[in-house]
Amino acid sequence: MSRAPEPPLELLTPTTMAMADRWTIEAGTPGIVLMERAGAGLAARVRDLWDGGRILVLAGPGNNGGDGFVAARHLHGWGFDVAVHHLGALAELRGDAALAAQAYPGATVPLAADLDLDGVGLVVDALFGAGLSRALPPEVAELVRRITAAGLAVVAVDLPSGIDGANGQAHGPAFRASTTVTFARAKPGHYLLPGAEHKGTLHVVDIGLDAAALARAHRTPPGPLWVNRPDLWRHLWPKPQPADHKYRRGHAVVVAGGVATGGAGRLAAGAALASGAGLVTLVCPKGALTTHASRLDAVMVRPCADGDLGPLLADARRNAWLLGPGGGVGAELRRQVETVLGLGRATVLDADALSCFEDDVQGLAACVQGPCVLTPHAGEAARLGATSGSKLEDAQELARRSGAVVVLKGFDTVVAAPDGRTAMATNGCVHLATAGAGDVLAGVVLAALARGVPAFEAAAAAVWLHNEAARAAGGSLTADDLSRHLRWVVTDPAIIAR
């Protein structure tokens, strides 16, 4: 079986997808034509996946169910044993879904929680798709449990029923699909947890939506949204040039903690160097100088008397700064952050530097004068007021309120800019659930900023490269391993260009 092509770079929410559908229809393409194309694409995928047994099509009360009826008609015509069970009365179907149901030549049966699963080889979930933002009806929830317990293969239409296409959340039981077939563009719920774990293999079917309608929908709030792939930022990633020298590649500075917490800063500094910064300096309290210097060679180490960064900031060639890893929450670190941000230097704020502004995003925003990237995990984001429960909404709102690019970390990392641009990780690596991995990520962002990459693209590139380095390192990785693999990932055209 051939590998599915990568989905388009652009993402649409269920709401903006509905807009693109409506504008396409208004531009002259009948809705039933779009549904026929969707159902035909779905049927072709089911045919490719079929491995024997009856095909059970569960058709819902809306357009998702209409897609299921079209697919069932094709499968029936190809000679497959198809059983269609519909939720709700067929007489209540409206519009294109009603036309699709009327065109199906086989028998249909009302859906029931206790329907017979004997002999079923594959289930087509055409019940609700991406638009459902509430719990499934009780009879459907029970059927989901039975099908899951039976271990049946499920092909979901648009999104597994029970998963919210806008944010990936599950509001109770949800199908866990082996394959999801969606149309025109992927949705946030395909990549945000737990939806990312429920979708299985994703196939995006082109149903001929109007190009102008798709572009207009992509620009509509909360967009523009993208999947995070090199196509999004490759054109801005620096390529080695004969005239390069170390200062041209940027001088990154990591403000580290003392002896007890200094490992975080060293991990970040090593990652910045491995990711292409021309020079890296680690700044630390005077009492920790010997400890840091004894463990670093290519990274320079400088003392900081009484927390005063002024003498180091006087050299404008030190063009990108990272504060927070192991820094210790307190007034001194906050003053350092305010000083660096006030000068407009490209800045990454991680860990303790974020906690210094707990419940005071307004105070942080007042300091931001230049490129700034925040790299919180969920707990740190909550301390900054991101508590909606939707990772996408939290990242976008925090970016808007802070005036900085936000990297809301996790397997499903979201990168959001203050102007609404957002990218979602599609190459999340489970091996990164290890201490210090976040410090390494901050160092990769720092290197990209030092090399002149704009903040949004720097953050998106860093997230992708970080995941690829972890995948190359394998399941037993520690944070110390990542820099070695980063050296290969950031310079290998076969990796960056794919």
- Alpha-carbon distances, residue 83 vs 38, 92, 128 (angstroms): 19, 20, 18
User: Is 197 part of any domain?
Assistant: yes
Do 214 and 259 lie in one domain? The reply is no
Do 257 and 144 lie in one domain? The reply is no
- Cβ burial of 225 (10 Å; 0-12, 13-18, 19+) is buried
Mark which of 198, 220, 242 sits at the end of a domain: 220
Do 442 and 467 lie in one domain? The reply is yes
pLDDT (tens digit, 9 = 90+) per residue, 380-436?
Answer: 999 999 999 899 999 999 999 999 999 999 999 999 999 999 999 999 999 999 999
Do 196 and 262 lie in one domain? The reply is no
Do 267 and 334 lie in one domain? The reply is yes
Do 375 and 240 lie in one domain? The reply is yes
Do 85 and 211 lie in one domain? The reply is yes
Do 39 and 93 lie in one domain? The reply is yes
Mark which of 220, 254, 277 sits at the end of a domain: 220
- Please state which of the ranges 26-30, 76-80, 113-117, 481-485 shows the lowest mean pLDDT: 481-485
In this structure, what DSSP letter does residue 186 have?
B
pLDDT (tens digit, 9 = 90+) per residue, 58-94?
Answer: 999 999 999 999 999 999 999 999 999 999 999 999 9
Q: What is the pLDDT averaged over residues 456-477?
A: 95
Do 323 and 255 lie in one domain? The reply is yes
pTM, entire model: 0.95
Asked whether the predicted pLDDT for residue 256 surpasses 50, the reply is yes
Range of the domain at 58: 10-220
Mark which of 187, 220, 253 sits at the end of a domain: 220
Do 119 and 257 lie in one domain? The reply is no
What pLDDT shows up at residue 93? Answer: 94
Find, among 168, 187, 173, the residue nearest to 138 by Cα. 173
User: Is 306 part of any domain?
Assistant: yes
Do 209 and 238 lie in one domain? The reply is no
- Please state which of the ranges 39-43, 90-94, 442-446 shows the lowest mean pLDDT: 90-94
CATH at 55:
3.40.50.10260
How many structural domains compose the chain? 2
Asked whether the predicted pLDDT for residue 1 surpasses 60, the reply is no
**Phi and psi torsions of 474, nearest 5°:** 95, 180
Do 87 and 153 lie in one domain? The reply is yes
Strand positions, DSSP E, 300-439: 300-303, 320-323, 346-349, 372-374, 405-408, 414-416, 422-425
Find, among 24, 25, 33, the residue nearest to 213 by Cα. 24
